[in-house]
Amino acid sequence: MAKVHTKELIDKFQLELVSGEEGVHRTITTSDISRPGLEMAGYFTYYPAERLQLLGKTELTFISELPPQIRRERMEQLCTDETPGIIISREMEVPKELLIASHGTGVPIMRTKMTTTRLSSRLTNYLESRLAPMTAVHGVLVDIYGIGVLIKGDSGVGKSETALELVKRGHRLVADDSVEIRQEDEETLVGSAPELIQHLLEIRGLGIINVMTLFGAGAVRNYKKISLIINLETWDSKKVYDRLGLEEETMKILETEVPILTVPVRPGRNLAVIIEVAAMNFRLKRMGMNAAKQFNDRLTDAIASGDDIEL
């Protein structure tokens, strides 16, 4: 399970650590953020203690109006051993009862100048990205005309060599050999390279090359949304390959279905050009222009009208 330490949020958002320094290495395991309004009113039955707690002007104003004894009890209930941290927005004054409870349990108390709504939005986006489900696949990810194309296939089929040719044609390498894929939301997969092999490409017989050094910064990018998968496989004369492009197959990665095309590999086929055209054709399909469907419609109309068909 992915985790984020509270210390990372302090550094990322430049939060002021007011209290609870010993708890900055607590882990955050959910992107959900809690604004404990009902809890401040005394209802702790379903208190989500494992979430990051955010106190804004409304919560702090309500707390200040409570009797000292009740205020102290509520702050003690707010600070648990599970709570990864409490953030005060608008740089407001931290209640002394909250500081006392923090010293007792080690819950980090942080403060920021940002408004509550803006802070909540930024924290949620950051945590969703960091805590998103993740996997790694063997393949090469290339940005072709703005389309993230994941090239898969057996070892030695020519994935890296094809990627090199695509880079020479002006496209951008994202990752070679191992692609880390993060599920940003239900329909979005974002691929990137492990830091160890970022911008590197392995060519058999040549070795490891640095694409950014050889071709410039414009030849690489750090991450890209995966929109299309190209599976390279050795040509099988007994297998029937799709010649019209009417069939649309998908491959499931994590929880998302991604369109996949199978391209047979044999001597003389220019794989870089084929993949380049596949990416352009994919863009056209998304714009509503499907050449295979148009041809099929014409053929159906010709058959229905009884015209002679010459191919």
More confident residue, 115 or 184: 115
| Percent of the chain whose pLDDT exceeds 70 | 95
> What is the per-residue burial (b if ≥16 Cβ within 10 Å, else e) of 254-263?
eebebebbeb
**Which residues are known binding-site members?**
153-160, 202
The closest of 280, 306, 277, 281 to 292, measured between CA atoms, is 281
Is 57 one of the catalytic residues? no
Is 298 one of the catalytic residues? no
Give the single-character DSSP code of 237. T
Which residue is catalytic, options 3, 12, 57, 138? 138
> Rounded to an integer, what distance in angstroms lies between the CA atom of residue 201 and that of residue 167?
11
Strands 223-234 and 109-111: unpaired
Is 152 one of the catalytic residues? no
More confident residue, 123 or 297: 123
- Checking if the pLDDT of 136 tops 90, the result is yes
Specify the pTM: 0.74
* Residue 90 three-state SS: coil
Q: Which domains are delineated in the chain?
A: 4-130 (3.40.1390.20), 134-298 (3.40.50.300)
Structure tokens that stand for 307 in this block:
């015209």
More confident residue, 246 or 132: 132
Comparing 1-5, 30-34, 172-176, 269-273, which segment has the lowest mean pLDDT?
1-5
> Rounded to an integer, what distance in angstroms lies between the CA atom of residue 27 and that of residue 172?
36
> In the predicted model, what is the mean pLDDT of the chain?
91
**Which residues are known binding-site members for Mg(2+)?**
160, 202
Which residue is catalytic, options 74, 111, 159, 172? 159
**Which residues are known binding-site members for ATP?**
153-160
Give the Å distances, CA to CA, from 243 to 198, 262, 271, 292.
36, 11, 16, 9
Which residue is catalytic, options 122, 177, 283, 293? 177
**255-266: per-residue pLDDT in tens?**
899 999 999 998
- Checking if the pLDDT of 245 tops 70, the result is no
Is 177 one of the catalytic residues? yes
- Checking if the pLDDT of 79 tops 90, the result is yes
